[in-house]
Amino acid sequence: MTAVDVTLADGINRLFGTEEGYRFARWGRPIAPVVFGTDDESLTHIKAAITQTVDVTGQKTVETDPELGSNFMWFFCSEWDEVAGVPDLDKLIPGLHSVLDSLKARDANQYRYFAFDAEGAIKFCAVLVRLKGHIAELPVQVLIAGETVKSLLLWSPQAFAEESPIAIVKENGICVVKPGFAAVIRAAYDPVVPASASDPSHALRLSARAGLLLKELT
């Protein structure tokens, strides 16, 4: 379960509501990940964790996106200045240098940029991770699963302020998406649910489906 009751519209609103109003979006195409800034051994574990977490949507990752090649890009660094030197990254992330200045000023360790298609669905996501401080101490699977969950939907900035979407099974140490969040993600990728929405009534449809799925997961 989660601290938010995902079977109620109010719970869904907490996950997708912003100061500007309700805003929901999921990926509108298969996810094609690519990872930069890590060694080969870590890369294997990172890609496995991404793939396993994307499976929660009911879809599979793919090797390439017909339009973009890779549409889910990860960049790891130890200092934000390293990211500034990545060729052409400023073409993918508008205002990259201002973004990096803000991240340094806030001593932040992660950043996520989304781009959307004409229907409002997610078509591209770039994840920047600075491996410093507490985030560098997290097990790879926990870090990557958590960041992937946060990239699967356009969550509210406060969606995970009180609770991580990831749990570790004590018996075997396996990292899993918590049932409540997994139910929301799977419900959001139901073909009958629109790929994007700004009307709060969408929360009613999503909560109903998440409630049914949660019963299956628990």
> What is the predicted pLDDT for the residue at 162?
87
Amino acid residing at 160:
F
Distances (CA, A) of 13 to 152, 188, 195: 17, 13, 16
Closest by alpha carbon to 190, among 212, 209, 169, 163? 209
Q: Are 110 and 131 in contact (CB under 8 A)?
A: no
> What is the predicted pLDDT for the residue at 1?
57
Over its length of 218 residues, how does the chain's per-residue pLDDT go in tens digits?
Answer: 577 899 999 999 999 999 999 999 999 999 999 999 999 889 999 999 999 999 999 999 999 999 999 999 999 999 999 999 899 999 999 999 999 999 999 999 999 999 999 999 999 999 999 999 889 899 999 999 999 999 999 999 999 988 999 998 877 778 999 999 999 999 999 999 999 999 999 999 999 999 999 988 77
Predicted structure pTM score: 0.95
Residue for token pair 């969950």: 149
- Whole-number Å distance between alpha carbons of 33 and 64: 8
Assess if CATH 3.30.379 describes domain 28-152. Answer: yes
Residue 45 burial (10 A CB sphere; 0-12, 13-18, 19+): middle
Domain locations in the chain as residue ranges: 1-26+154-218, 28-152
* Bridge-based pairing state of the strands 33-36 and 72-77: parallel
Residue for token pair 């019963």: 215
- How distant is the alpha carbon of residue 48 from its chain centre? 15
What values do phi and psi take at 146, rounded to 5? -65, -45
| Number of Cβ atoms within 10 Å of the Cβ of 25 | 23
- Whole-number Å distance between alpha carbons of 103 and 130: 10
Residues whose CB is less than 8 angstroms from the CB of residue 103 and which lie 6 or more positions away in sequence, other chains included: 80, 111, 128, 130
> What is the predicted pLDDT for the residue at 188?
98
Tokens read off for 188: 């959001």
